[in-house]
Amino acid sequence: MSSIIIDTSASRGVTGLLKFLLESGKIDAALTMRNDPENNTYDFGLITDASNLDEAVPLIPVMTVNAGQVLSSISISRKKIAAVLKPCELRAFVELVKREKGSLENLLTISYTCGGVFPLDTVITGQIKELLPKYRKTILNGEIPVNTRDTCRACEHFIPMNADITVSVIGECEPGVGCVMHLNTERAVEFTEGFGGERSDRKFDPSTLKKTLDARLAEKEKLFASVTKDGPGLDRLLDTFGKCVGCHGCSSVCPICYCLLCDFESANFDYNLPYFEEHLSRKGALRLPPDTIFFHLGRLTHMSFSCVGCGMCSDVCPVDIPVAAMFKKTGEKTAALFDYLPGRDVEESIPVMVYKEEEFPDIG
């Protein structure tokens, strides 16, 4: 497949493309991150008027919400939308599509080789202003920027899977090179028709990507080690999740947790007093509200194999539990059992939703 090179920064290039798509009427709306300089905050904008794209910052390394979650609520429509997503957001969205919670049908997905995002508090504290310039340099050299989310630092899937257009950022976003857009699909070609820039068959620069990958894999090992403490077991779980306040923030920001009403908030988990009395008489003490750990175990079983490690959960946890790391780790283990990779392919069916004869030969 071909690619387009525009003589501008990657970010400007993408904004330009969105402008073009809106003005040429190829899309009805564009989904991209925006910056509100007045309050120094970021949000997602569903933009229909090209002139409003000026405050767009499509490639900003910030994730206020996982775009997959945002898209799912608007993508089931016959309106044409172009969305700029981070690789993990796109993967999350694909997982949602598999669950009928979204549709790729009228969507043009634009993603990019992602250097990872900064935690929310760097935005709140304004610290991000200093961090951003450094950030660009570091990812240019395929290194890992400081202060990014730990799961980002440990993320080896920073090259988008099944995006229509991939903007090359890692390794080649310096103005000299310009903005490189790889057109991966027919749709991409068709949509970019009439859009300026020089066509070429330029491929990714493998060296920097490789360098990044190695760095990330190393980080991942460290991360996983850090959350394992000394061996598994319930005590370790208690150590980690013991201080959970049960706000369920992790599930409400999780793109995969799409349930309107989480089972753990449903009537199934309202207990009659005899339940408590019985436990009390057996154990002499019990925690209120109950099921603090159970909630996380339950969530693990419900979604871990679809976890894309975006790190939103850790970011919103009021007591700094390394939720993301735990889930990413568990997720990879469970997914591996089925040789499954969340968000790799829409056609790939979700493990626990199908039964294959050849699964677990040893069981039979």
Partner 1 sequence: MKEFEMQESGQDRKLRAKVGVYICECGPNIAGKVDLDRIITDISELDDYQDVELVVKKYGFLCSAPGKEYLEEEINSNGFTHLVIGACSPRDHDSTFMGVCKKTDLNPYLYRIINIREHCSWVIDDKEKATVKAESYIRGGIARVLRQSELFEKPLDINPDVLIIGGGVAGMEAALSLSSDDRRVFLVEKTDRLGGVSIDLSGILPGQGEVIGKKIESVLGNGNIRVFLNTRVENVIGFLGNFEIELLSEENTEITEIMSGAIVVAAGGTLFDPRESDRYSYSGSDEVYTSLSIEKMFAGDDGAVLRSGKQPSSVALIHCVGREEKNYCSGICCSYMMKLACFFKKQSADIQVTEFYRDICLPKKNDQERFSEAQAAGVALIRIKDISLKGTNVSFERISGDKDKQSFDMVVLAPALEPSADTEYFADLLTVPLDEFGFFQEVHKMTNPVGTATDGVFIVGAAHGPKGVSDSMQFARASAGQILTRLIPGEKLIPEVAVTEISEAYCTGCGNCLEVCVYGAIYSDDSRGISVVNEAVCRGCGNCFGSCPSGALRTKHFTNTQLYREVDEALR
Partner 2 sequence: MTDAQGKGAVLPVSKDPGDAILEFLRLAVAKELADAVILPMKVPSGDSFAWILMNDVSLFEGAVPIAAAMPVQGAKALRSLTRKGPGNLTVIAVMRPCEIRAAIELEKLGQVHTDNLILATYDCPGAIPLQKYVDDPGGSEEHFSLMRRSGKPDNTAKPVCHYCENFSMFDSDLHFGYFGFSEKEVLVIPGSDKGSELLKGLDLDLAKDLSDWKKGIDSLKAEREEARKSAFEETGEQLRGFSGMQSVFASCIGCHNCQSACPICYCRLCYFDSETAQQDPDALITAAAKRGGVSLPEDRIMFHVGRMTHMSLSCVSCGQCTDACPVSIPVAGVFSYVADRTQRTFEYEAGRNDGDPLPLRQFRKSELPGIHELVKNAESEEPSHE
Closest to 57 (Cα-Cα) out of 69, 42, 40: 42
Q: Which does 90 bind (CB under 5 to 8 A by kind): partner 2, partner 1, none?
A: none
DSSP string spanning 34-59?
EEETTTTEEEEEEE-SGGGGGGB-TT
- Contact set for partner 2, span 79-118 (CB under 8 A): 79, 81
Residue 363 as a binder of partner 1 (CB under 8 A): the answer is: no
What mask, x for binding partner 1 by CB under 8 A, covers residues 77 to 106? Answer: -x----------------------------
DSSP conformation letters of 4-39? EEESS-HHHHHHHHHHHHHHTTS-SEEEEEEEETTT
Cα separation, 21 vs 191, whole angstroms:
7
Query: From residue 243 to residue 262, what is the string marking binding to partner 1 with x (rule CB under 8 A)?
Result: -----------------xx-
> Which CB sits closer to partner 1, 78 or 283?
78
In whole angstroms, the minimum distance from the beta carbon of 88 to partner 2 comes to: 16
SS3 (DSSP) at 168? strand
The phi, psi pair for 77, rounded to 5°, reads: -155, 160
Examine residue 51 and tell whether it contacts partner 2 (CB under 8 A).
yes
The site partner of 45 among partner 2, partner 1, none (C-beta below 5 to 8 Å per kind) is partner 2
Neighbours of 326 (CB within 10 A): 22
Residue 325, C-beta contacts closer than 8 angstroms, at least 6 positions apart: 150, 151, 154, 223, 224, 226, 227, 314
Q: Which is nearer to partner 2, 16 or 246 (CB)?
A: 246
Q: 281 or 353: whose CB is closer to partner 2?
A: 281
Q: Is 283 in the site for partner 1 (CB under 8 A)?
A: no
Residue 73 found at the interface with partner 2 (CB under 8 A): yes
Site residues (CB under 8 A) for partner 1, limited to 33-72: none
Is 204 a binding residue for partner 2 by CB under 8 A? The answer is no
Amino acid at 37: P
Q: How far is the CB of 260 from partner 1 (least distance, A)?
A: 6
Angle at 318 between CA 316 and CA 324, to 5 degrees: 50
Reduced 3-state DSSP string for 177-220: CCEEEEECCHHHHHHHCCCCCEEECCCCCHHHHHHHHHHHHHHH
Among 194, 232, 267, 282, binds partner 1 (CB under 8 A): 267
Between 125 and 252, whose beta carbon lies closer to partner 1? 252
CB of 39 to partner 2, least distance (A): 4
Cβ distance to partner 2 smaller for residue 7 or 55: 55
Q: Pick the binder of partner 1 from 24, 52, 252, 266 (CB under 8 A).
A: 266
Q: Which residues bind partner 1 (CB under 8 A)?
A: 78, 260-261, 266-267, 270
